[in-house]
């Protein structure tokens, strides 16, 4: 089966080769032999202490005219939240990346480079510069700094892992080598996400290869290990849809974030984009949809051309994940889990119903997804503003309120909070005698836990309990209570997709 070109035109950059990008046609899984894997370091995906929120140097970088909404949302996030991918690194497993282009840094392997590292598994050397421009196009969607056509996360770094040789041949084992490289080097280069816009031409409903004792199992296990390190592997679903549900390999691996394509003009799944529902595919089902056409990317010759294929939907999601990770890391100092990222993508996405298969797959909505990323509660003292005593409120079960509107209990009686302003609580009822023996305050998670488990055992999490605070007389008075405490959580057929 031949590898086909996904962009309108692909121009060789180096190492002159045959005029057509192709792959040897070799049938049978027995040809997929695994190579020895390097010993992995027991490192975790730590990104250091949170950095204070600041404006992005790319804040004024506008989305290209006519580009899909997700690019517009990314531009808004840069301008209003300072989210641009800073501190995140993507590993692009593909045909290589042309780092000589201005849009991708015009250098390689230095501290000031955008493409900070890489390897060529196709030609077995340290230079990941490509012969064919597919990986360059994918990388530009993620991190281009071109003011006329910026990527989703222009401040992000890139690691280029080339798995195709000069003739366009690749193999499952080379992809396995690239994933092993990521596992061994993710801490060194702060790799936070992996993009694989490569698929075979098949249409699977489950991962037949996870126990093949060969490259398929090796890849599946590596993706699972990366997930445990909170590093998502984003995989394109494939372009071989012919009316039947399914996805190609590696998107069919359950631990990937699998991406199908959407036509932005119609809002429907692209006609050739493979898709798989949970009723058929279970855990391997397609996770998210993103625009796969209707925008331009930089090509091997440095020009911008229109593209079409799930190869280009995947990096849209990859770049968006880097903004999600940046926002979360700024609050909590570590990467969110892959399951967290996926839940925010799905919950924030807009439902897209496929009229062919009747599947409903969420389409990425970056603005809504970023709004779901939690913020760490501030630890500033919470003063209580005194209000004249009123009738004792009847005992009642606290209801779940927002973090800014706690439930307050005085002497075992719930009192009402009429307003919260400038960190002060205004109470509309107090004990009639004006004496406070105990003050309990619940916010957020603690209220939910208390509702679910009554008062035994005592609520935990963001609960504050202040005992034996006495007020001698009912006169204007305020006391400061304790700070809030918050708890954050061989050769095979390959082709571009």
- Predicted pLDDT at 417: 58
pLDDT higher at 68 or 52: 68
The pLDDT tens digits of the residues spanning 431-448 come to 444 454 555 666 554 544
Other beta carbons within 10 angstroms of residue 255's beta carbon come to 23
* Topology, domain 29-375+489-496: Rossmann fold (3.40.50)
* pLDDT tens digits, 175-216: 999 999 999 999 999 999 999 999 998 999 999 999 999 999
What pLDDT does 201 receive?
A: 84
The whole-number pLDDT of residue 55 equals 82
Q: Per-residue pLDDT for 261 more than 70?
A: yes
pLDDT given at position 414 = 67
- Which pLDDT value is given to residue 285? 98
Per-residue model confidence (pLDDT) at position 411: 58
**Tens digits of residue pLDDT in 42-64:** 333 344 444 445 589 999 999 99
Residue 62 has a pLDDT of 96
Say if CB 216 and CB 29 are below 8 A apart: yes
Comparing C-alpha atoms, which of 132, 252, 197, 210 is closest to residue 495? Answer: 197
Quick one: pLDDT band at residue 4, thresholds 50, 70, 90? very low
* pLDDT at residue 70 tops 80: yes
Rounded Cα distance between 231 and 396, Å, is 45
**Band of pLDDT at residue 299, cut at 50, 70 and 90:** confident
Say what the pLDDT of residue 64 is.
94
pTM of the complete model: 0.71
The answer to whether residue 266 scores a pLDDT higher than 70 is yes
Percent of the chain with pLDDT over 90: 61
Q: Could you read off the pLDDT of 128-161 as tens digits, one per residue?
A: 999 999 999 999 999 999 999 999 999 999 999 9
Q: What is the mean pLDDT of the chain?
A: 77
Tell me the domain boundaries of the chain.
Answer: 29-375+489-496, 382-481
d(CA 293, CA 314) in angstroms, rounded, equals 12
Residue 124 has pLDDT above 70, yes or no: yes
In whole angstroms, how far apart are CA 443 and each of 375, 385, 406, 425, 485? 14, 17, 5, 13, 10
Mean pLDDT calculated for residue range 56-80: 96
In this prediction, residue 69 carries a pLDDT of 97
- CA distance linking residue 345 with residue 351, whole number of Å: 11
* Average pLDDT of the residues in 160-180: 96
Q: At residue 88, does pLDDT exceed 50?
A: yes
State the average pLDDT over residues 14-24.
Answer: 35
Q: Contact at 8 Å (CB) between 347 and 339?
A: no
The pLDDT, as a whole number, for residue 340 is: 97
Given a cut of 60, whether residue 489 has pLDDT beyond it is no
**What token pair was written down for 301?**
């010759």
| Residue 252: pLDDT over 70 | yes
């Amino acid at each position: 089966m031949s590898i086909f070109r996904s962009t309108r035109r692909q121009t060789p950059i180096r190492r002159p080769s045959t005029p057509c990008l192709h792959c040897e046609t070799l049938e049978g899984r027995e040809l997929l032999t695994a190579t020895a894997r390097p010993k992995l370091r027991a490192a975790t995906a730590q990104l250091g202490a949170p950095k204070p929120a600041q404006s992005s140097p790319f804040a004024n970088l506008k989305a290209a005219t006519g580009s899909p909404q997700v690019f517009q949302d990314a531009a808004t996030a840069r301008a209003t939240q300072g989210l641009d991918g800073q501190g995140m690194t993507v590993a692009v497993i593909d045909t290589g990346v042309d780092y000589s282009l201005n849009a991708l840094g015009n250098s390689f392997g230095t501290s000031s480079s955008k493409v900070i590292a890489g390897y060529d598994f196709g030609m077995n050397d340290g230079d990941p510069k490509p012969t064919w421009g597919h990986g360059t196009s994918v990388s530009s969607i993620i991190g281009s700094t071109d003011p006329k056509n910026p990527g989703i996360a222009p401040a992000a770094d890139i690691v280029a892992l080339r798995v195709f040789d000069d003739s366009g041949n690749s193999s499952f084992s080379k992809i396995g080598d690239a994933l092993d490289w990521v596992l061994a080097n993710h801490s060194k280069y702060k790799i936070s996400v992996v993009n694989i816009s490569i698929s075979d031409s098949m249409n699977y409903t489950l991962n037949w290869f996870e126990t093949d004792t060969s490259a398929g199992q090796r890849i599946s296990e590596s993706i699972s290990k990366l997930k445990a390190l909170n590093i998502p592997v984003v995989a394109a679903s494939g372009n071989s849809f012919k009316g039947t549900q399914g996805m190609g390999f590696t998107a069919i691996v359950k631990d990937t974030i699998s991406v199908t394509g959407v036509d932005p003009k119609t809002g429907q799944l692209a006609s050739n984009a493979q898709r798989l529902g949970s009723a058929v595919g279970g855990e391997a089902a397609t996770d998210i949809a993103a625009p796969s056409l209707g925008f331009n990317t930089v090509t091997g010759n440095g020009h911008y051309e229109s593209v079409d294929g799930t190869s280009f939907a995947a990096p849209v999601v990859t770049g968006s994940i880097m903004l999600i990770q940046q926002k979360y890391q700024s609050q909590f100092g570590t990467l969110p889990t892959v399951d967290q990222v996926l839940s925010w993508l799905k919950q924030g996405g807009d439902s897209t119903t496929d009229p062919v298969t009747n599947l409903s797959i969420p389409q990425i909505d970056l603005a809504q997804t970023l709004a779901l990323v939690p913020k760490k509660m501030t630890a500033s003292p919470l003063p209580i503003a005194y209000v004249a005593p009123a009738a004792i409120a009847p005992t009642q079960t606290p209801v779940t309120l927002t973090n800014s509107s706690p439930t307050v209990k005085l002497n075992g009686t719930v009192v009402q909070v009429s307003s919260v302003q400038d960190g002060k609580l205004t109470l509309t009822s107090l004990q009639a005698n004006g004496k406070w023996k105990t003050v309990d305050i619940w916010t957020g998670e603690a209220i939910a836990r208390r509702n679910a488990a009554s008062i035994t055992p005592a609520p935990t999490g963001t609960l504050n309990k202040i005992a034996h605070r006495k007020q001698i007389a009912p006169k204007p008075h305020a006391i400061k209570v304790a700070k809030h405490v918050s708890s954050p959580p061989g050769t095979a057929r390959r082709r571009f997709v």
